[in-house]
Amino acid sequence: MYDLIGVGIGPMNLGLSALAHPTPLRTLFFDESEQFSWHPGMMIKDSMMQTSFISDLVTLADPTSPFTYLNYLRSINRLHTFYFYEKLLISRQEYNAYLKWVSTQLEDLHFSTRVIDIQDTGDSYEVLVEEVATGKRTTYETRNIVLGTGSKPSIPASFDDGVIHNTQYVMEKESLLKQEKVSIVGSGQSAAEIFLDLLTSDRPETFELEWISRSTIFETLETGKLGEEIFSPSYVQYFNSLPLETRQDAVTKFARSQNGISPETLQAIYEHLYDLPQDDAKRINIRANLEVNQITREQDFTISMRHTELHDERTSKTGAVVAATGFVPSLPRFVNRLDIEFEGEQAWKVDANYRIHRTVKANHHLYATTNLELSHGPAADNLGMSVSRNQLILNDVAGKELYPVEQHATFTTFN
């Protein structure tokens, strides 16, 4: 009998495993991937994290843990180098290397193993898993389950199948640079990073680059100190207590906090545009106020758009399209048999401790580290909040305080 089994091994469940490691809890985590991998298609050179290295997998809960980012640096003889670096933000590639380092040290992580089904026995859950390579199936029994299946790329159905999602960018970059023209659709950090990377790459003299955004302006990421306090346990607890209608309205207000572009990225883009020779600048187009309705393909792609303020129709011909159009929760089919209570069409009803409400009463529970936007607001997918999330889950599973959570660490009072 296990205390907790995790479905999926992304950064959230990886951190949960790391924090559970020194506790008496018996845990297992399964993922069908061969090894840990975090958005390999967005490992763009020099792309930076938007959260501090302090918000690694464990430090905010246990700075003495062997799985801190600083201990990772010590293990590869880069601690003094980092000390002289004197920055809070690290590269995405460095963070990914840190995550992989942690994943190799935890014995409760099982890769190349997919969860096929989960059954509620009345007293516990039976988890059926299958080894990807051999097809061998095994059943495990657990008192609790955490669903950490993450998200999957979201591309509108009206876009041609040949459109590339930004998660595939690095793998497709070489072929993109062979096109006469490439168009990027989206207005967030991912779109900006791809635009900057193509802008600064060696490319043919006739190469055209187009960035299409529905927004009037490119919002900068909220970096004000008081503004960042919405990424705190006290705000998340407050948000979770609000009525459903209030939370639904509030979710639409957090675009800048969730989808804003880092000031450093926008500055770098502007500096490179400023330095372009006039002939090169003519082949670079940034187009705002355009909502893409459809993308079709014959020989080239045709992007059909509508101006959001002038309300006229526009089209653009291009050789390739990269869609930085976000993500939707990846929800396995077997969860439909677990009597989960919903808020709205797809959102689970989840309490402040990340416990999923069920329509049946039970002493064994489901927890969520995904599909949390409506229940936990702007911090739902924020990596900096993953530690406090995992603290609450482990404390709830253990029935006691394994890790104290700072509930009043903000100067702002939200309630």
What pLDDT is recorded for position 307?
97
- Give the separation between CA 266 and CA 271, rounded to whole angstroms: 9
Contact 29, 20 (CB under 8 A): no
CATH superfamily of 4-152+328-398: FAD/NAD(P)-binding domain (3.50.50.60)
C-alpha closest to that of 47 among 190, 198, 169 = 190
What pLDDT is recorded for position 414?
86
CATH number of 155-220+260-323: 3.50.50.60
- Two tokens at 2? 């296990």
What pLDDT is recorded for position 255?
63
C-alpha closest to that of 130 among 154, 148, 114 = 114
User: What type of residue is 343?
Assistant: E
Domain ranges of the chain: 4-152+328-398, 155-220+260-323
The SS3 of residue 375 is: helix
DSSP 106: -
The residue to which tokens 């998660």 are assigned: 167
- Two tokens at 98? 């840190």
- Give the separation between CA 278 and CA 352, rounded to whole angstroms: 55
What pLDDT is recorded for position 145?
98
Contacts of 174-179 spanning 24+ positions with Cβ under 8 A? 175/320, 176/320, 176/322, 177/201, 177/202, 177/203, 177/204, 177/207, 179/207, 179/318, 179/319, 179/320
Do 4-152+328-398 and 155-220+260-323 have matching folds?
yes
What pLDDT is recorded for position 106?
98
10-residue mean pLDDT series, the chain (415 residues): 97 97 98 94 90 94 97 97 94 96 98 97 96 97 96 96 97 96 96 96 93 90 78 89 92 73 93 94 96 96 97 97 94 91 90 95 94 89 90 97 84 86
C-alpha closest to that of 20 among 54, 51, 57 = 57
User: What type of residue is 302?
Assistant: T
Bridge partners, residue 283, by sequence: none
What pLDDT is recorded for position 322?
98
What pLDDT is recorded for position 408?
67
- Give the separation between CA 255 and CA 328, rounded to whole angstroms: 16
